[in-house]
Amino acid sequence: MTEEVPDTDPGGLPLSGRMRFLQGEPVTEPLPLADTLRNTPYRDPRAMEAPGQEASVRGALELAVRVGELLLRCGASTRDVEAAVVAVAAAAGLRRLEVDITNQSLLVQAPTPSGVPVTWLRVVRSNTRDFARLTAVHRLVEDLVSGGIDDVAAATKKLRRIQRKSRIYPRWMVGLGYAGLAGSVCAVLGGHTMAIVVSIVSVLLVDRVGRWLSKHAVPSFYSSAAGGAISVVLAWFGYLIGIHGWLGIYMPPTEFGYAIAAGIVVLLPGRAMASAVEDAVTGYPVTGAGRLLTVFLATSGIIVGIAAGLSLTLRLDKALDLQLTALPLTGAHTTATAQLALDFASQPAALWLQVVCGAFGAICSAVSARVLPKHLLPAGLLGAIGLLLSGGLPSKVSIGGFHFGATTSIAIAAIVIGLAGRFIGLRLGAPALVLVVPAVSPLLPGLRIFRGMYDAVSGSVIGTSVATQGEALSTLMGAAAIALAISTGVVLGDAMSAPLDRQALRRRRARHR
């Protein structure tokens, strides 16, 4: 005897076509693993036969958690790590999986055929930007998902080889990458020969000091503070040499700020900043909050170092009368106030030079992140596009009388970089962040951070109300707005590019048939 389905709901209303809009939503059920991979590069995985023994479940789960651990260690975002872990588990034949990722740990659990849960926990206490290794892990997961690897043991051996492989570039080349990024940013801002040389030398020294402090287990906050102070002091010495033309190269006061701003861009935790915002936006608030705190402490260390360096150098400058702190007004406008020597009114470099320097800076940033050589030029192309949009939209484009502001232009540039980065990256066998992170590095707000600190410190040094604390705070908030625009723009561009993955996925499937 079959049970009859009532034609009325519990409230007595008929379930006719006219009343169906009053029906409640269906009960929420856990999504299958394949459905959780929607809009990720690992969608529609080819699953192996489900593990029939507890040992097989443990092997599949260990492979998934070790993949996630290595991705976390190499600087991947929480969303990418979860997608990779779920993809590996689904490809290995697991049907049920629980994944919990925090800032430093990865917890994965799956039941055995008898129903006994198996749990793996990995803690990642240190991480580094090694995008070549991250790309290798991404390809391993793609091979598993597309059926190129049909055995968990073979995938585990391949993962171990990736773990043991030495890094792609020597450490001195990474330092040169940081220096090249600083020099290109200084040129984009409008700096000339002396300022560019000073920024390069200061970044090389800061990198050396940072490595020494890290070797002696000094927390990153103090390393960031030391880097900020060194950048300011070396820039002041460069200004001291340049203002007198002792080396035959002149350095105007405004370029003092450009040299420091370039060093700040290198010190800023750009990848951690983007990951923190991405985690918060995509539904990982705990991990996002932890990463935001890390970013806040690192940025605070930079600001503390800049403040200490400015306090020292501006007092020395005032004592030596080098005109870096203020220029007194004359004539009828003479008052108790003063005009800042660093008014930041100088025009940036020509647009074509910004585009060239943006490409070069992105390539140098990619080298510092240890990106594979074949991905350097695509990263440089995206960097050039970013500077073209951020530098060209405010001055060249007007729609219906509306002019793009600096923050809006940078947000548009970040969206385009995020969209193109995923589109190009997947076709080159690399995750999007391998191209996106270097490309947005020249856009980071180093000059605004320095300007805010200069406004805050210079007034107390001069002894006049040159810049109120409100103005300094407003400038720093503007820097935070630019950082937020970059991070959210990249995430939006990545989401917009997801529907364009299908062609790359079909090619991947065809390659392993």
Task: Looking at the structure, tell me whether residues 222 and 347 fall in a common domain.
Answer: yes
Domain boundary among 167, 191, 219: 167
Task: Looking at the structure, tell me whether residues 191 and 137 fall in a common domain.
Answer: no
Task: Looking at the structure, tell me whether residues 188 and 241 fall in a common domain.
Answer: yes
Average pLDDT over residues 134-140: 91
pLDDT tier at 25 (50, 70, 90 boundaries)? low
Residue 331 is given by DSSP the state: G
Task: Looking at the structure, tell me whether residues 352 and 323 fall in a common domain.
Answer: yes
Residue of 111, 118, 108 whose CA lies nearest to 69: 108
Task: Looking at the structure, tell me whether residues 72 and 178 fall in a common domain.
Answer: no
18 inside domain: no
Task: Looking at the structure, tell me whether residues 95 and 195 fall in a common domain.
Answer: no
Average pLDDT over residues 428-447: 88
Q: What is the pLDDT of residues 228-270, one digit of tens each?
A: 899 888 888 887 887 766 666 777 777 878 888 888 888 888 7
3 inside domain: no
Helix (H) or strand (E) holding 110: strand 105-111
| Residue 470 in tokens | 């409100």
C-alpha Rg value of the chain to the nearest Å:
27
Q: Which residues have C-beta within 8 Å of that of residue 348, sequence separation ≥ 6?
A: 188, 189, 190, 354, 391
pLDDT tier at 344 (50, 70, 90 boundaries)? low
Task: Looking at the structure, tell me whether residues 366 and 403 fall in a common domain.
Answer: yes
Does residue 9 carry a pLDDT above 70?
no
Task: Looking at the structure, tell me whether residues 109 and 181 fall in a common domain.
Answer: no
Per the CB < 8 A criterion, the answer to whether 386 and 442 are in contact is yes
Task: Looking at the structure, tell me whether residues 139 and 187 fall in a common domain.
Answer: no
Average pLDDT over residues 388-394: 80
Does residue 147 carry a pLDDT above 50?
yes
Say how far apart CA 280 and CA 444 lie, in whole Å: 20
Say how far apart CA 394 and CA 225 lie, in whole Å: 33
Residue of 287, 305, 233 whose CA lies nearest to 80: 287
How confident is the model at residue 246, as a pLDDT?
A: 66
Residue of 361, 189, 369 whose CA lies nearest to 269: 369
How many domains does the chain fold into?
2
Helix (H) or strand (E) holding 416: helix 406-427
Return the C-alpha torsion angle 38, 43, 44, 46, nearest 10: -140
Long-range pairs for 445-448 at CB < 8 Å and ≥24 separation? 445/478, 445/479, 445/482, 445/483, 446/185, 446/260, 446/261, 446/262, 446/263, 446/264, 446/265, 446/268, 447/189, 447/257, 447/258, 447/261, 447/264, 447/344, 448/475, 448/476, 448/478, 448/479, 448/482
Average pLDDT over residues 52-74: 86
Query: For the chain, what is the mean pLDDT?
Result: 79
Say how far apart CA 220 and CA 199 lie, in whole Å: 21
How confident is the model at residue 7, as a pLDDT?
A: 52
pLDDT tier at 464 (50, 70, 90 boundaries)? very low
Say how far apart CA 489 and CA 271 lie, in whole Å: 14
8 inside domain: no
25 inside domain: no
Task: Looking at the structure, tell me whether residues 121 and 187 fall in a common domain.
Answer: no
Average pLDDT over residues 307-321: 76
Q: Which domain holds residue 394?
A: 171-502
Does residue 401 carry a pLDDT above 70?
no
Q: For residue 334, give Cα distances in angstroms to 321, 327, 345.
A: 19, 11, 21
End-to-end CA distance of the chain: 49
Task: Looking at the structure, tell me whether residues 145 and 180 fall in a common domain.
Answer: no
Say how far apart CA 308 and CA 224 lie, in whole Å: 12
Average pLDDT over residues 304-333: 65
Domain boundary among 123, 152, 167: 167
Domain boundary among 145, 167, 189: 167
Q: Which residues have C-beta within 8 Å of that of residue 193, sequence separation ≥ 6?
A: 249
The percent of residues in the chain predicted with pLDDT above 70, rounded, is 79
In this structure, of 204-213, 342-351, 367-376, 422-431, the range with the lowest mean pLDDT score is 342-351
SS3 of 440-456: the string is: HHHHCCHHHHHHHHHHH
Say how far apart CA 441 and CA 459 lie, in whole Å: 31
Per the CB < 8 A criterion, the answer to whether 263 and 179 are in contact is no
Does residue 338 carry a pLDDT above 50?
no
- Give the three-state DSSP class for 32: coil
CA angle 97, 98, 101 (to 5 degrees): 135
Task: Looking at the structure, tell me whether residues 299 and 419 fall in a common domain.
Answer: yes
Average pLDDT over residues 129-157: 87
Helix (H) or strand (E) holding 101: strand 98-101
How confident is the model at residue 22, as a pLDDT?
A: 54
